[in-house]
């Protein structure tokens, strides 16, 4: 039993020892790759798709088991490298030699295919060796790139030049496992001062263009300011016109209302005078309407003339003047309408008054005539229906007035001096003086003659006229 237990203990110890040895083995051969390096496992590795063994296995990050005896490993740094390239005398497309000082930043690529190239061509290289190899590649590709471009293309379109460098240099770098991180080009020069001349020309052109741009900017600014001022003036003119229009309309409404009230008062007081005034009002309305149309036509004509003149002026002044002319025209129209309405209402009131006056006078005359007719009718009736006797009675009533008129005529006759040259008696035995007085008295129309002229024969008690022929 003791021997069996000893054997069991030895076996357990051996197993534990083997396990410990296996753990230590794997711990030692399990290699981890830091992020700033590439781990290259070489020796017996995987095979390609066509059955060929791979020369190496590259790993960026992570870890892998490296088998002893059949495999080994190494690291390639990923730290960037800066290379200064002072390219001198590079021949351009124009056969002008230029100097292209530049700085290239490169590094080992982490792209799987490019990492395989780095494992094949850079494994075991020092940093200095890698930089020297990269410098030769950059010099060659930079010369080739410069040879395909003109100086103007290189100097003016620097971005395109850098893109072309990155393309040409980057392709060659990939072949050795590197990639181009960045390119910086310093000032490009040439021995013949061609680039300097181009710079002076560009500077001169830029100065001239700047002057042109400044002039254009000033012009655009002036135009913009003028347009803004015009817009502001037009808006102000429109607002002013609207305000003035509203004010004038309110004033017109006020005047019309006042005139309407006054006209209503006049119409109320003189309602009977409407018909005659209506005719005058129509006439006044026609005249006012004609005047209004003439004023409006004149205003329109003036506005058109002004507009034609204003088209030659600045746009801001034209807009302002047109706005003021519009306001003036509206003011003329409003004032004309208000004045026409006032004239119509006043004319109607006056017509009503005149109509009432003439109607009253006509009524009074009619009443007088009716009274006279009635009196004449009564007079004829009192004369037993004899119109002649009635006329005689009327004439008798007027005799006193006729005699008074004749007397008044003689009374008012003023004779300062009467000179009579009397040489004696005439054939009848009368003196010239007596004949003068007799003819003066006879110059007055006798009452009976006046009555006969009226077709009336006076009664006998008023006397009679004896014809001179009868007396003789």
260 and 327 part of one domain? yes
102 and 66 part of one domain? no
pLDDT of residue 258: 63
- Per the domain annotation, does 227 fall within a domain? no
362 and 414 part of one domain? no
362 and 466 part of one domain? no
Q: What is the DSSP string of 151-193?
A: HHHHHH-HHHHHHHHHHHHHHHHHHTTEEEEEEEE---EETT-
256 and 357 part of one domain? yes
Q: How far apart are CA 388 and CA 395, in angstroms?
A: 10
pLDDT of residue 301: 67
**What is the average pLDDT across 228-238?**
78
> 10 or 398: which carries more pLDDT confidence?
10
On whether the CB atoms of residues 296 and 329 are closer than 8 A, the answer is yes
**What is the torsion angle, in degrees rounded to the nearest 10, for the CA atoms of residue 422, residue 424, residue 426 and residue 432?**
30
pLDDT of residue 419: 60
The tokens for 181 are 């991180």
pLDDT of residue 237: 75
Domain residue limits at 51: 16-74
26 has a pLDDT exceeding 70: no
458 has a pLDDT exceeding 70: no
On whether the CB atoms of residues 60 and 119 are closer than 8 A, the answer is no
Q: Which of 125-129, 377-381, 396-400 is predicted with the least confidence, judged by mean pLDDT?
A: 396-400
- Per the domain annotation, does 337 fall within a domain? yes
State the CATH number of the domain containing residue 159.
3.30.479.30
244 has a pLDDT exceeding 90: no
> 356 or 306: which carries more pLDDT confidence?
356
- Per the domain annotation, does 377 fall within a domain? no
**What is the average pLDDT across 405-421?**
61
| Residues 322-350 pLDDT 10s | 667 777 777 777 777 878 788 888 877 78
231 has a pLDDT exceeding 60: yes
pLDDT of residue 201: 72
464 has a pLDDT exceeding 50: yes
User: How many C-beta atoms surround the C-beta of residue 132 within 10 A?
Assistant: 12
Q: Which residue has the tokens 């077709």?
A: 455
- Average model confidence (pLDDT) across the chain: 75
- Per the domain annotation, does 208 fall within a domain? no
Nearest to 119 by CA among 56, 61, 60, 212: 56
On whether the CB atoms of residues 190 and 97 are closer than 8 A, the answer is yes
Which range in 7-21, 189-203, 398-412 is most confidently predicted, on average pLDDT?
A: 7-21
- For the entire predicted model, the pTM comes to 0.40
259 and 350 part of one domain? yes
Q: Which residues contact 148 (CB under 8 A, 6 or more apart)?
A: 93, 164
pLDDT tier at 309, thresholds 50, 70, 90: low
141 has a pLDDT exceeding 70: yes
Give SS3 for 388. helix
161 and 87 part of one domain? yes
The tokens for 463 are 């006397």
186 and 159 part of one domain? yes
pLDDT tier at 413, thresholds 50, 70, 90: low
Domain count, the chain: 4
pLDDT of residue 266: 64
pLDDT of residue 373: 77
261 and 354 part of one domain? yes
58 has a pLDDT exceeding 90: no
62 has a pLDDT exceeding 80: no
349 and 415 part of one domain? no
- Per the domain annotation, does 374 fall within a domain? no
414 has a pLDDT exceeding 80: no
64 and 103 part of one domain? no
104 has a pLDDT exceeding 90: yes
36 has a pLDDT exceeding 80: yes
């Amino acid at each position: 039993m003791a021997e069996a237990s000893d054997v069991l203990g030895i076996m357990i110890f051996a197993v534990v020892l083997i396990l410990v040895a296996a753990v230590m083995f794997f711990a030692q051969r399990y290699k981890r790759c830091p992020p700033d390096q590439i781990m290259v496992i070489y020796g017996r590795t995987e095979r390609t798709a066509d059955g060929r063994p791979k020369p190496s296995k590259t790993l960026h990050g992570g870890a892998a088991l490296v088998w002893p005896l059949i495999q080994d490993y190494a690291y390639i740094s990923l730290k960037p490298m800066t290379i200064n390239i002072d390219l001198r005398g590079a021949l351009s497309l124009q056969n002008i030699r230029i100097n292209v000082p530049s700085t290239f930043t490169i590094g080992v690529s982490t792209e799987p295919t490019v990492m395989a190239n780095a494992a094949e061509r850079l494994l075991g290289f020092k940093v200095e060796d890698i930089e020297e190899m990269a410098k030769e590649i950059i010099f060659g590709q930079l010369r080739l790139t410069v040879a395909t471009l003109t100086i103007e293309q290189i100097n003016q379109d620097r971005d395109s030049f850098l893109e072309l460098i990155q393309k040409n240099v980057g392709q060659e770098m990939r072949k050795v496992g590197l990639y181009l991180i960045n390119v910086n080009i310093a000032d490009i020069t040439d021995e013949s001062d061609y680039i300097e001349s181009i710079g002076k020309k560009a500077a001169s052109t830029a100065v001239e263009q700047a002057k042109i741009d400044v002039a254009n900017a000033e012009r655009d600014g002036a135009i913009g300011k003028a347009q803004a001022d015009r817009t502001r003036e037009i808006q102000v003119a429109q607002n002013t016109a609207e305000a003035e229009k509203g004010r004038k309309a309110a004033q017109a409404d006020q005047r019309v209302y006042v005139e309407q009230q006054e006209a209503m008062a006049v119409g109320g007081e003189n309602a009977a005078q409407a018909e005659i005034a209506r005719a005058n009002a129509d006439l006044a309305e026609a005249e006012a309407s004609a005047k209004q149309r003439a004023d409006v036509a004149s205003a329109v004509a003036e506005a058109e003339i002004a507009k034609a003149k204003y088209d030659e002026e600045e746009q801001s002044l034209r807009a302002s003047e047109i706005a003021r002319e519009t306001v003036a025209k509206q003011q003329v129209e409003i004032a004309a309408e208000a004045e026409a309405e006032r004239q119509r209402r006043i004319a109607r009131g006056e017509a009503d008054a005149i109509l009432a006056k003439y109607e009253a006078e006509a009524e009074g005359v009619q009443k007088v005539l009716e009274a006279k007719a009635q009196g004449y009718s009564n007079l004829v009736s009192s004369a037993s229906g004899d119109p002649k006797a009635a006329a005689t009675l009327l004439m008798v009533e007027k005799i006193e007035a006729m005699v008074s008129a004749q007397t008044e005529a003689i009374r008012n006759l003023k004779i300062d001096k009467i000179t009579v040259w009397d040489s004696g008696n005439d054939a009848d035995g009368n003196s010239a003086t007596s004949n003068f007085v007799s003819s003066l008295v006879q110059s007055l129309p006798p009452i009976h003659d006046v009555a006969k002229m009226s077709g009336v024969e006076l009664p006998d008690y008023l006397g009679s006229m004896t014809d001179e022929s009868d007396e003789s």
